Homo-oligomer: A and B are copies of this chain.
Amino acid sequence: MSTRLKYFGAAGYEIVGPTHRILIDPFLSQNPLAPCSVDDLATPDVILVSHAAFDHYGDTAALAKRTGAPVVCDAAVRFMLLDEGVSPDQITPTTWGIVVEVAGLVVRPVECHHWSSGTLSDGRQVVGNPIAFIVETEPDVRIYHYGDTCIFDMRLIGELYRPTVGLLGCTLPRELSHLIPGPATFLTGEMDADEAARTAEMLQLELAVACHYLAPDDEVRRFVELVPHHDTTGRRRVIAPLVGETLVVDGERHWIERSES
């Protein structure tokens, strides 16, 4: 058995395990490096959306409407999906701690120290509670998606839910920075390389996966260097997939497959 994680860029993944196909934060149509379009995607068993930011919410509405797939998300994302015409019967709102089962998959939302805010078509702000997700795709493969959290003491999450693979933001998709107004320069994402490498240790991951970029930058390379530096187990592996590549996790091994498309 193996689990395949195709990287879309930003925090977007298609995760295909032995029993379920899961989309997380599907950011494609505004993504200059998108390896496929939303129309190319197979119907997922579930779409998980961490929060309402545009590079995470992405194409969720179009995808939900085309495929009819259920969505698990926070209330801000739910408001936005309803506003875009997605059926309420497709959307399950949840928040930290409330474990849900959808299409036979158990989805565990855990704390994400970030925020979630969107704008409806009439200009109103809607606000939710951002989510980091843990899903077990097969026995002993528990995938943690960070959902744009900043660093905090995640040791309790590591102890209680024992994720094995962590998708950890360590920089920001700099190609999108011009979309954010204002005079300042964004130096880091919600976590920098060192902070992300420390969360890999706090979560006691087996495999730390760089996340939250389009083209890899120096922070991604620094993450790859720093994960071993903060590793007290001596066994932690680290990888930084390119957009469009597929990370295959097979027991204690993992490898990258180049995309065909």
Contacts and interface: CB of A to CB of B under 8 A. Distances in A.
Interface string A86-97: 001111111111
A95 B72 CA distance: 24
Interface of A: 70, 72, 75, 79, 88-103, 106-107, 110-111, 113-115, 117, 124-129, 150-153, 156, 160, 172, 180-192, 194-195
Contacts of A93: 180, 182
B190 A96 contact: yes
Query: Which of A98, A151, A185, A188 is packed against the most chain B CB atoms within 10 Å?
Result: A98
Nearest to A89: B183
One complex includes copies of this chain to the number of 3
8 contacts: A79-B125, A96-B114, A96-B150, A99-B192, A101-B187, A111-B150, A160-B194, A160-B195
A128 B106 CA distance: 29
Contacts of A117: 75, 127-128
Given A97-B195, A98-B186, 14 more contacts: A72-B184, A91-B181, A92-B183, A93-B182, A95-B114, A95-B150, A97-B150, A97-B190, A111-B150, A124-B124, A124-B125, A125-B126, A127-B127, A152-B156
Contacts of A103: 183
Contacts of A96: 113-114, 150, 190
Query: Which of A92, A95, A128, A183 is packed against the most chain B CB atoms within 10 Å?
Result: A183
A63 to B, nearest CB: 15
B183 A111 contact: no
Nearest to A103: B183
Given A111-B150, A115-B128, A152-B156, A97 B181 contact: no
A89 B126 CA distance: 23
A114 to B, nearest CB: 7
B70 A102 contact: no
Contacts of A129: 114-115
Contacts of A189: 97-98
